[in-house]
Amino acid sequence: MTVAALPVGDWQFWLVTALAVGAVWIVVAPLLPRRRGKPGPCPGCPTGEAAQKPRAKHVDLTIGGKRVRSADAPRGPQAERGS
């Protein structure tokens, strides 16, 4: 098949060509490096919303339904075995 044999006058040819180009773009676009001016507050977030929220600095530890200070909590493999 040569270039002259392509049905360039057929609307279906152009429709399928456009769909194929769009599908290739959807597959290839995430693999291409992006040009960015400067990274925002949260590069992984489109709105940067996660960077605005304060992070929790302390979480209470509970063992058996009772609050336990982190210094008193059993640590290591012995804590899992109960000894």
Structure confidence at residue 74 (pLDDT): 57
pTM: 0.40
Mean pLDDT calculated for residue range 21-48: 76
Mean pLDDT of the chain: 75
At 21, is the pLDDT very low, low, confident or very high (cuts 50, 70, 90)? Answer: very high
Give 73's contacts (C-beta < 8 A, 6+ positions apart).
Answer: 61, 63, 79
Question: Which letter does DSSP use for residue 79 in this model?
Answer: H
DSSP secondary structure string, 26-62?
A: HHHGGGSPPP-SS--S-TT-SS-HHHHSPPP----EE
